Amino acid sequence: MIRDELLTQDIGQLSEISGIVANIERYAINDGAGVRTTVFTKGCYLRCRWCSNPETQLFAPEMSFFPDKCFGCKNCLRACPYGAIGDDLNADRSICRDCHTREHPFACTTTCYAKCRKMTGETMTVKQVYDIVKRDVPFYEASGGGVTLSGGEPMAQPEFTYALLRMLTERWIDTAIETCGYADKEDYEKVLPYLNTVFMDLKHMDSEKHRLWTGQGNDLVLENIKLADRMAGTYGNKLFIRIPVIPGFNDTAEAIDAAARFVARECTHVTGMELLPYHKLGRGKYYSLGRTYPLEDLTPPSKEQMDELNRILAGYEIPIYKF
C-alpha cells in the first residue's frame, strides 16, 4: 500500500524509491498511442493460466535458460558455486529458486557468452528507470507516444509505480498502465490521477470461473473498473477495458455479452474496449524457467470467431479498439 507520506514528497525523494524491473522495452508500438517505452515490473497477484509473461509473475529475480542458444562451453557449470547445474547443463530449479538471496546470485549468467542463461529481474530506482526512458523523449514528442507500465502487475509494486508516474508526469511525458485490476483500491485512487491512459482487464464476469483460471475471484476487479471509470470522468484520462479471449474460459458469446453488458451498465467514461485473442507466444518462456506450459493443447480463436465476438461489443455501441 502507498504510504501517505509519499504523497507530499518531492521528486528528489521519490526518485530514490526502488522496484524490481523485469525488462525495459524501447520502441514499443502496441502498448498505447505512438512510439512508447514499456517498463515491465515483476510480481503479480494473479496466476492466469494463459499468461504470456511468466517471468514477471514472481516478486524476485529468476534465471531463464534457452538451450537452443547454448553451444556447450560449460562456463555456467564452472561458474555456479552452488552445484545447481549438471553435466547435461540442466539446472536444479530447487537450488536456483533461492539464488537471488545468495552471496553470488546467478553467477551462471555472467559467464554465458551465448546469452542462453539470463537473469530476469533487477532492482532499480525510479531515477535509473527515468534515465533510460528519457532517451526517447524525441520519439514520444514526434509520435504522441510515451511510457507504459506493464508486467507482471505494476500495481503490485504500488509505491514504485506511484513514484515513477509522478516523475514522468512532472516531466510532461505521456503515461499509460496495463493492469489486471486486482490490487488495492486505495492505491489505484492515488495512482490514476497521474495516468493519461489506463488499460484494465475484465477477464470474466463469473467470479468462480475467474478464480479457477486466475487464482482469484473478480469482485475487486469489478470494483476497480468502476473506480477507474469514475476517476476517468474526473481527470479525463482514457480508459480501455481489455478482454483476453481464451478458449474454454471466456470465448463464448454469453461470456463476452456479460462483460459488455457490465461495462455498458456500470461505466460512463470508458473510451473503448479491446478483445485480445489468445496466443502461444509466451510458451517458450515457461520452458526457459523450468516450468510446464499449462495450455499446450489450446488453439487460438479464429478470425471469424473474433469478428463475431466483436460484433457483440458493437451491439452495445461500445467503441472497439485495436492497439
pLDDT tens track for 262-305: 999 999 999 999 999 999 999 999 999 999 999 999 999 999 99
Q: Could you tell me the sign of the dihedral formed by the alpha carbons of 4, 124, 281, 292, in that order?
A: negative
Q: Are residues 202 and 267 in the same domain?
A: yes
Q: Are 160 and 17 in contact (CB under 8 A)?
A: yes
The DSSP output letter for 289 is T
Domain extent at residue 68:
62-119
- Residue 224: per-residue pLDDT: 99
Question: Are residues 146 and 185 both part of a single domain?
Answer: yes
Residue 63: phi and psi, rounded to 5, are: -105, 130
Per-residue pLDDT tens digits for 171-199? 999 999 999 999 999 999 999 999 999 99
Gap between the Cα atoms of 125 and 294, Å rounded: 34
Query: Does 208 have pLDDT greater than 90?
Result: yes
Shared domain for 53 and 81, answered yes or no, is no
Residues of the chain with pLDDT > 70: what percent?
A: 100
- Cα–Cα dist 264/315, whole Å: 10
Summarize the confidence of residues 116-130 as an average pLDDT: 97
State how far Cα 221 lies from the chain centre: 15
Q: Are residues 97 and 47 in the same domain?
A: no
Residues 274 and 225 reside in one and the same domain: yes
DSSP characters for 45-79?
S---TT-S-GGGSSSS-EEEE-GGG-----HHHHH
Does residue 108 sit in the same domain as residue 47? no
Decide if 86 is inside a domain: yes
Please report, for residues 13, 147, 151, 152, 261, the alpha-carbon distance to residue 25 in angstroms, rounded to integers and kept in the order given: 26, 10, 11, 14, 35
Residue where a domain stops, chosen among 78, 95, 119: 119
Q: Is 198 left (phi over 0), alpha (psi -120 to 50) or beta?
A: beta
Strand spans (E) along 126-201: 146-150, 174-179, 197-201
Is residue 322's pLDDT more than 90? no
Provide the CA 310 distance to its chain's centre, in angstroms.
Answer: 24
Beta bridge partner(s), residue 200: 179, 241
Sheet holding 122-125, edge to edge: 122-125, 18-28, 36-41, 146-150, 174-179, 197-201, 238-245, 272-277
Distance CA 96, CA 129 (A): 27
Q: Return the SS3 of 13.
A: helix
Contact 289, 55 (CB under 8 A): yes
Q: Which of 76, 95, 119 is the last residue of a domain?
A: 119
Looking at the structure, tell me whether residues 229 and 273 fall in a common domain: yes
Confidence at residue 145, expressed as pLDDT on a 0 to 100 scale: 98
The yes-or-no verdict on residue 323 having pLDDT over 90 is no
Band (30; pLDDT cuts 50, 70, 90):
confident
Judge if 73 and 54 occupy the same domain: no
Q: How far apart are CA 267 and CA 223, in angstroms?
A: 11
Residue 44 placed within a domain: yes
What is residue 6's predicted lDDT score, i.e. its pLDDT? 92
Residue 78 and residue 218 in one domain: no
Lookup: cell for 9? 514528497
Eight-class DSSP state of 85: B
CATH number assigned to the domain comprising residue 110: 3.30.70
Quote the mean pLDDT of the chain: 96
320 in any annotated domain: no
How far apart are the two ends of the chain, measured CA to CA in Å?
A: 31
